[in-house]
Structure 1
Amino acid sequence: MPLFIIIMLLQVLLIVHAMKTGRNTLWIWVLLMAPMIGGLAYLIVELLPAWSSSNSAQKARKKVRDITDPHRDFRLAQDNLKRNETIQNLVNMAKECAGKGLYKDAEMFYERALKGIYQTDPILLEGLAGVQLLDQRYEDCKRTLNSLIQHNPNFRSKTGHVMYAQCLYHLKDIDGASEEFEALKKYHATALVKYHLGEIRHRQNRPTDALNEFRSIIEQENAWDPSGNGDEQWLTKAQARIAEITKTVH
């Protein structure tokens, strides 16, 4: 295809983009009157800043940075904490430690933050409980969440509710876990919630109900998980459980 035709097609696409996105009408005239220079100007002034500030662009830059300098954020959190031991710097350090699997260190930084007027802060307690859950210390996690509820009865958190249900599940309190995950499903039906309900139904010797839960992960839309974890692991696990249970049922 001749270069001239390619340039004209690109110009048409840029004009359509400018019209659809409500850009200043001056851009349409610029694109019409000066095809190559106008198109380049539109890309630099309008599109590149939008692309660079988008979530996907930010995630891509973070991935590159994590590969080239995987300890950069950890060092930055350390330096900030050394200069000024604020609550936010302690939390940032705790999160960096948790991300590297240093759960005991992360817990220590949360505990340093849980002092004075912040001793019963719900966000800090939830962060501490999250570290304990990652460290598979389910009794400690449950105790921390109970403390959070006791001192902050009006605090509401989907993340905290999911963690509490997971604690009961791992502590083999199947009835309690069933009740919590059922409550979660009514307002926060993530793939994680549905998968755990499927496992509970399977343990309760209810294979049809278990299959329905596992299939709903694959066939229905799942709520967004605020932790940022994707559905992939739960989709994979659900597919494996469907294959397993189907064999035994039939």
Structure 2
Amino acid sequence: MPYLGIGFHVIIAVFFAVHAVRTQQNMYWLLILFAFPGLGSVVYFFAIYLPGLRQTRGARAAKRAIGQLVDPNRAVREARDAFDRAPTVDHRMRLGAALLDAGEPKAALEHYEAAASGPFATDPALLLGLARAQFATGGHAAAIAALERLFASQPQARQQADPALLYARALAASDAPGTRAAFEQALSCASDAAARCLFADWLTARGEPADRERAQALYAEIVHDGKHWPRHAREHNREWLQRAQGALGKA
């Protein structure tokens, strides 16, 4: 039986040693792990492994989800308290973002519009938040205008996933010229499957044979890629994967 205990300690030490090599930790951890497999593993777990685990995307998403279940209004409440104590532009923007995430776009829009009337009217974060709130409340033309001001003051924002996709969606909702080019731009800097799926939806609605063919190809790409995504990526892209699967099933 003592040999089983020693073997288990060594297995744990080997696991953490592999983690240390993969994450490029200092090599002295290998010495600690193999010289003192039991104690070394405990120290490594609390010093390196656990803090790193907490920083993963999945862990952060889980923490947010738990927070929403336990106290769904916490972010809005804390943002409102901060704004009440000090009604700065930063605090107003924080409150606007919290209201947007909480599904209160009209209230969020009021705060963003108030912030945009001051000297920070060209702040990139403010313009993006304003456009998000305008889009969420059906103000598609206003969202387009806000994003164009953002692109004029910060040209690199065209290369960023969120503003690029929001601009394409606002143009599509307005049936405005340049929608196709905007979606192509959003595809070039996309960080997830949203741009492909939304572009495919727009192409499908156009009804042209070539557009339908391109849309089916985009849906198929999402489904194919979904087979190889790690768990956190599948969770993040669940909506788009399901929509792509549904669209292919109807074809």
> Which one of the candidate residues 167, 170, 182 is aligned to 2:170?
167
Partner of 1:182: helix, strand, or coil?
helix
Partner of 2:119: helix, strand, or coil?
helix
> Which one of the candidate residues 132, 135, 148 is aligned to 1:133?
135
> Which one of the candidate residues 77, 87, 90 is aligned to 2:89?
87
> Which one of the candidate residues 109, 118, 121 is aligned to 1:119?
121
Counterpart CA distance in 1 for 2:46 and 2:123 is: 46
Find out whether 1:50 has 2:52 as its counterpart. Answer: yes
CA contact (8 A) 2:124 2:154 kept: no
Corresponding residue of 1:224 = none
Counterpart CA distance in 2 for 1:153 and 1:39 is: 48
1:191-229 CA-partner distances (Å, limit 9, x unpaired) = 3332333234332421323322322332358xxxxxxx9
Give the structure with higher Rg (CA): 1
1:145-191 CA-partner distances (Å, limit 9, x unpaired) = 34445x63745333223222212212234x53223223433454853
Partner of 1:117: helix, strand, or coil?
coil
Corresponding residue of 1:205 = 208
Overall identity of the aligned pairs, in %: 24
CA RMSD of aligned residues (A): 3.0
Q: How does 1:166-245 map to 2 (within 5 A)?
A: 166-173=169-176, 176-188=178-190, 191-202=193-204, 203-206=206-209, 207-220=212-225, 230-245=236-251
In structure 2, what residue type is equivalent to 1:171? S
Gaps of 5+ in 2: 227-234
CA contact (8 A) 1:133 1:167 kept: yes
Gaps of 5+ in 1: 222-228, 246-250
Partner of 1:78: helix, strand, or coil?
helix
Change (3 A) 1:35 1:111: same
Change (3 A) 1:234 1:52: closer
Cα distance, 1:46 vs structure 2: 3.0
Cα distance, 1:231 vs structure 2: 2.6
Cα distance, 1:106 vs structure 2: 0.4
In structure 2, what residue type is equivalent to 1:90? R
After TM superposition, the score normalised by the length of structure 1 is 0.78
In structure 2, what residue type is equivalent to 1:210? A
Change (3 A) 1:190 1:12: closer
